[in-house]
Amino acid sequence: MSYIIIALLIVVTIIFGKIAPKLGFSEVVGQLLSGIILGSSVLNIVHPTSLIHLLSEIGIFILMLNSGMESDIKEMRKYIKASTLIAIMGVIVPAVSFPIAFMLLGYTLKVSLFAGVVFSATSISITLAVLAEQKKLATPMGAIILSAAVLDDIIALIAVTLFSVFIGGGALGVGSLLPLIAFAMGILLRKVSFSEQLAQGLNWMGSWLFYPIFFGSIGLGIALQDLNNKLLPIMLFSILAIITKFFGSLIGAKLSGLNKTVAQAIGAGMISRGEMALVITQIGISSHLIGDAASAEFIVAIIISTIVAPILMKPLFSKVN
């Protein structure tokens, strides 16, 4: 019976993922929504199980391995000054702002600090899609955004690992270490001769099996009926997610000497949290750093920022020659 349920989760999640871009949303958003619909929030058909959790962990590993293999360190060096300043400021502003906002709303210090780590991350895949759509992937702006996003994610992965050890009371499980290990392995595997074929094979396997389970399972963990009294904090977190990353990255771009138009486009390109913030949130859940209620609030804010990001990106990217 469990295999039938998992098969249902995969099929529905893939379908929702394919429909979402046609409606102007990212594939990740569609996959998350499928989990919400199948789970306790709506249909109450699929529930989290140990097998789904295991397959989700494999999905995280493959996702981060592929992210590492797609990270061109040599290309990043060309724009190291700009991408480093953008990445650092794009991490510092949310990492400081979110704990303050969370603590003012009565959350514990641990959850507040963890929120700063989660919302410091940047989604590469959604930004990639918009850059490719506007044929700006090979431009200096595209290279700077992607380099800064990779650096952001490296910082965020290291931060969540350290957080698990020193602030989480040593709650460092397999789920905490695997993403960082997988990302590092991906960077090393990029150098082998068959890396392109390996990346294609892993991406195919991930896209049709493990990624749908991972993103769908995150949706399963959200109980919308329990969020009625959390609408105000969620809206605040969503607005904060957009503003802090936009202005933090914009400040970094301006400090590196880029003009206002390019700086604004880069700021928009760094907003989306997408899969990386979801991976970090899942680490927090697996390591018992955050509870179900807080994780649901994180996830909804991540979804909103992921929906808004491409809307802001498209007009700002089009202004850059």
DSSP state letters, 76-104: HHHTHHHHHHHHHHHHHHHHHHHHHHHHH
| pLDDT digits 0-9 by tens, 254-276 | 999 999 999 999 999 999 887 78
CA angle in degrees (0–180, nearest 5) for 290-119-259: 175
- pLDDT score of 168: 65
Give the position of tokens 């929906």.
Answer: 307
In angstroms, the CA 209 to CA 112 distance is 34
Which DSSP state fits 139? Answer: S
Could you tell me the two tokens for 187?
């960077």
* 17's tokens: 């993922």
The pLDDT of residue 177 is 66
- Mapping DSSP to helix (H, G, I), strand (E, B) and coil, where does residue 119 land? coil
What single letter denotes the amino acid at residue 15? Answer: I
Record the tokens describing residue 94, joined without a space.
């949310």
The helix/strand/coil state of 113 is helix
Query: What pLDDT, on a 0 to 100 scale, did the predictor assign at position 190?
Result: 86
What does the pLDDT read at residue 259? 93
Confidence grade of residue 320 (pLDDT, cut at 50, 70, 90): confident
B/e letters for 88-97, b = 16+ CB within 10 Å, e = fewer, are bbbbbbbbeb
Q: Which tokens hold the place of 7?
A: 């098969």
Is the pLDDT reported for residue 175 higher than 60?
Answer: no
**105: pLDDT strictly greater than 80:** yes
Place of tokens 């009926």: 225
Q: Which segment of 58-72, 75-89, 121-135, 152-166 scores lowest on mean pLDDT?
A: 121-135
Average pLDDT value over all residues in the chain: 86
Residue 321's pLDDT is 76
Quick one: how many helices (H) and strands (E) in the chain?
A: 15, 0
CA distance readout (Å), 270 to 122, 170, 175: 6, 31, 25
% the chain with pLDDT above 70: 96
Mean pLDDT (whole number) for 63-82: 81
Copy the structure tokens of residue 220: 């399963």
Q: Residue 27 pLDDT more than 60?
A: yes
The stretch 214-239 carries a mean pLDDT of 86
pLDDT value at residue 156: 85
Confidence tier at 221 by pLDDT (50, 70, 90): confident
**300 pLDDT more than 80:** yes
Q: Which of 15-24, 109-118, 168-177 has the lowest mean pLDDT?
A: 168-177
Q: Would you state the pLDDT for residue 119?
A: 94
Buried b (16+ CB within 10 A) or exposed e, 277-302: bbbbbbbbbbbebbeeebbbbbbbbb
Q: Is the pLDDT of residue 215 over 70?
A: yes
Domains of the chain: 2-318 (1.20.1530.20)
Half-sphere exposure of 47 (CA within 13 A, CB side): 3
pLDDT band for position 176 (50/70/90)? Answer: low
User: Is the whole-model pTM more than 0.85?
Assistant: no
Positive or negative torsion for Cα 191, 194, 196, 198? negative
